[in-house]
Structure 1
Amino acid sequence: MTDWNERYKIGDTPWEKGAAAPPLIELLGKTQEEIWGSGRTLVPGCGSGHDVRALATAGITAVGVDLAREAIRRAEVFPRISDETYEQGDFLEKDFAEGKTFSAIWEHTCFCAIDPQRRENYAESCSRLLQSGGHLIGVFFLTAQDPGEEQQGPPFNSTISELDERFARWFDRIKEWVPESSYPGRKGKEWLAIYRKR
């Protein structure tokens, strides 16, 4: 099992790019307010909070959650943009959802980082936390498309068919596209999708 807190402490964080995900910035320039809803947006696996702050800059009330205490500590060091908040916790656990509801979830690097055996838990947690009609909005790594990609993760391989299957019990996919903007080395390996909770 990955010790995420220790990885932050020793600086073993290749996913940490120092800025918000380019597909998120692209998305914020395209989407209308109704995609995010009028409530809060959850960012699971928020790390140092770059995506949380990008959402806050766009006027979206965002809540970042991460397993690693060190990640949350780093996120809270940055100057506050608006009313964004951070919380240490495991959003895959049922207890995390108690008393919480969100109009949207922004997914970036969390789904691919967890043990694939917990992906059903991920889909259940999204359903549990989102209000009816809320959106799971995510950029997913389609690393299985690259025959040279390592099969050992994290990140772990995924495919569009698997994503659709995982979320089909609670969600309908309403939109998808390949982002024009990506970090170096990720071009063509990312897929942006919007799923609406039934």
Structure 2
Amino acid sequence: MTDWDGRWRAGETPWDKGEAAPPLLEALEDAENGPFLRSARVLVPGCGSGHDVRALARVGAEVTGLDLSAKAIEVARGIKSVGGESYVCANLFDWQSEPFDAVWEHTCFCAIDPSDRGDYAEAVAGLIRPGGRLIGVFYLDPKDPDGGPPHGARKEEIARHLEPWFTLERGSVPTRAFPSRVGREWLATFVRCDGDRRVAVD
């Protein structure tokens, strides 16, 4: 298991690009997800220093950033607040809260061990209200497919883990990305449902 707090304390955080994920900015301009997120209560798991959290708060969302690294949360809290954001140090797999309208996924799914992806799907489903959304950018193609993190995934695998609780609304390759991730990501929107549903992947 990766010692995320140790990595943060050592300053070994190459995944922290110093700004919000470009696909998030794309989602915020989307005709459907943009208005939804701007008025939503949003959870950002694996938030790190909070770049995505602040981008969401800046447009009006009520955002909670969650990270299991105490140092990451310390860094995030040390940056000037821009809106209604807050931060919690906890493990996604055993943290409980009132359901959120949405979860923004970026780097959490690809950071956990692939064997934990089913638990991730169940944990996230438990934190989103029925009709809410899991909107995320999933890393499909890491430079080192046999290493990790980040751990890559296929669209079909992502859908298979999420399908007991979510319906895929749409997915596409984001038009915006960090240079090293161009063509390697999938920007997808899943809708939380009440019962078991099948997800079709194009």
- TM-score category by the smaller chain? over 0.9
* 1:102 matches 2:100: yes
Instruction: Give the structure 2 partner of residue 16 of structure 1.
Output: 16
1:110 and 1:80 map into 2 onto residues whose CA distance is: 23
- In the TM superposition, structure 1's runs of 4+ consecutive aligned residues that sit over 2 Å from their partners are 31-39
Q: Give TM-score, length-normalised by structure 1.
A: 0.93
Aligned pair partner of 2:177 in 173, 182, 197? 182
1:18 and 1:38 map into 2 onto residues whose CA distance is: 25
Aligned pair partner of 2:132 in 131, 134, 140? 134
Instruction: Give the structure 2 partner of residue 79 of structure 1.
Output: 80
1:134 and 1:34 map into 2 onto residues whose CA distance is: 13
Deviation per CA, 1:77-128: give whole Å up to 9, x if none.
11111110000001112xx12x421000000000000011110111001110
Could you say what secondary structure the match of 1:124 adopts? helix
Structure 1 gap segments, 5+ residues each: none
Identity of aligned residues (%): 44
Q: What is the Cα deviation at residue 5 of structure 1?
A: 0.6
Kindly provide the amino acid, as one letter, of the partner of residue 81 in structure 1: V
Instruction: Give the structure 2 partner of residue 70 of structure 1.
Output: 71
Kindly provide the amino acid, as one letter, of the partner of residue 7 in structure 1: R
1:13 and 1:191 map into 2 onto residues whose CA distance is: 22
Call closer, same or farther: CA 1:110–1:31 in 2, change over 3 Å. Answer: farther
Kindly provide the amino acid, as one letter, of the partner of residue 121 in structure 2: A
Call closer, same or farther: CA 1:103–1:180 in 2, change over 3 Å. Answer: same
* Structure 2 counterparts to residues 88-167 of structure 1, below 5 A: 88-93=89-94, 96-97=95-96, 99-143=97-141, 149-167=144-162
Structure 2 gap segments, 5+ residues each: 194-202
Q: Could you say what the CA RMSD is over the residues aligned between the two structures, in angstroms?
A: 1.4
Q: What is the Cα deviation at residue 149 of structure 1?
A: 3.0
Q: Give TM-score, length-normalised by structure 2.
A: 0.91
2:38 and 2:83 map into 1 onto residues whose CA distance is: 17
- Contact 1:106–1:138 (8 Å) recurs in 2: yes
* 1:193 matches 2:193: no
Alignment coverage as a number of residue pairs: 192
2:55 and 2:31 map into 1 onto residues whose CA distance is: 14
Call closer, same or farther: CA 1:34–1:58 in 2, change over 3 Å. Answer: closer
- Contact 1:37–1:103 (8 Å) recurs in 2: no
